[in-house]
Amino acid sequence: MTTSAADNVIALYREHADAFEKLRGTQLVERVWLEAFLDLLPGSAPEVLDLGCGTGIPIGRHLIERGCRLTGVDASDALLARARASFPGHDWIEADMRSLPPLRPFQGLIAWHSFFHLRPEDQRPMFKTFERLAAPGAALMFTSGTHLGEAIGQFEGQPLYHGSLDSAEYRELLRGAGFKVIRHVQADRTCGGANIWLAQRHA
């Protein structure tokens, strides 16, 4: 039986951790967005959940350096091993974001270049997960596509799946989960062309 590209995403990141780490690099092109995210976090020493954290570099490192207590989730044990070695004082959980273990609410949730690897039908229920895991006033930031559908990229010579909802549906799902959109930019040229959502849970 042939595995679909959507079902093979986790296996790709498990098999090619070295290639991903090299490709991702350490340059923090997301700095402006991360600062906006940090500005929304309620309280001091906020707890942040990073869904699809990879090695923890550079995004997790930046959040930690800014005083956050980080819980990173990734389905690739090989990537998590690097995160644990670099930041042993924080929590690193091997899990699929669609089936998380019991977790407490967080002051911040981030799913940067990870959430968009889910099928559209798997993305929709994630907004209830965001609602459950977001403390009052929590910030949520994620990247997405712009139109309902699927796209296939390439990673190490193999198909890499991306899924998306329509932007209007993302807005409605955020509203239904109790989040207000603070900023949304499509194809941000200052951030690698990413489509970015920054929202905040109602206090």
pLDDT at 27: 86
Q: Which two tokens stand for residue 128?
A: 């209830």
Judged by average pLDDT, the poorest of 41-45, 69-73, 161-165 is: 41-45
pLDDT at 84: 97
In 3D space, the residue among 145, 154, 159 whose CA is nearest the CA of residue 5 turns out to be 159
CA distance 195 to 177: 20
pLDDT at 41: 96
Overall average pLDDT of the 115-138 stretch: 98
Would the pLDDT of 74 be above 50?
Answer: yes
* Backbone dihedral angles phi then psi of residue 46, each to the nearest 5 degrees: -65, 150
pLDDT at 1: 41
Would the pLDDT of 101 be above 80?
Answer: yes
**Class of domain 6-201 as given by CATH:** alpha beta
Overall average pLDDT of the 75-81 stretch: 96
- Helix/strand/coil (H, E, C) string of the chain? CCCCCHHHHHHHHHHCHHHHHHHHCCCCCCHHHHHHHHHHCCCCCCEEEEECCCCCCCHHHHHHHCCCEEEEEECCHHHHHHHHHHCCCCEEEECCHHHCCCCCCEEEEEECCCHHHCCHHHHCCHHHHHHHHEEEEEEEEEEECCCCEEEEEEECCEEEEEEECCHHHHHHHHHHCCEEEEEEEEEEHHHCCEEEEEEEECC
69-74/47-51 β-pairing: parallel
Overall average pLDDT of the 144-169 stretch: 96
pLDDT at 23: 87
Of 23 and 133, which is predicted with more confidence? 133
Domain boundaries, the chain: 6-201
Judged by average pLDDT, the poorest of 1-10, 71-80, 166-175 is: 1-10
Would the pLDDT of 136 be above 50?
Answer: yes
Overall average pLDDT of the 39-60 stretch: 95
Overall average pLDDT of the 146-175 stretch: 96
pLDDT at 187: 96
CA distance 1 to 49: 35
pLDDT at 25: 83
Q: Is the bond preceding 125 in cis, omega lying within 30 degrees of 0?
A: no
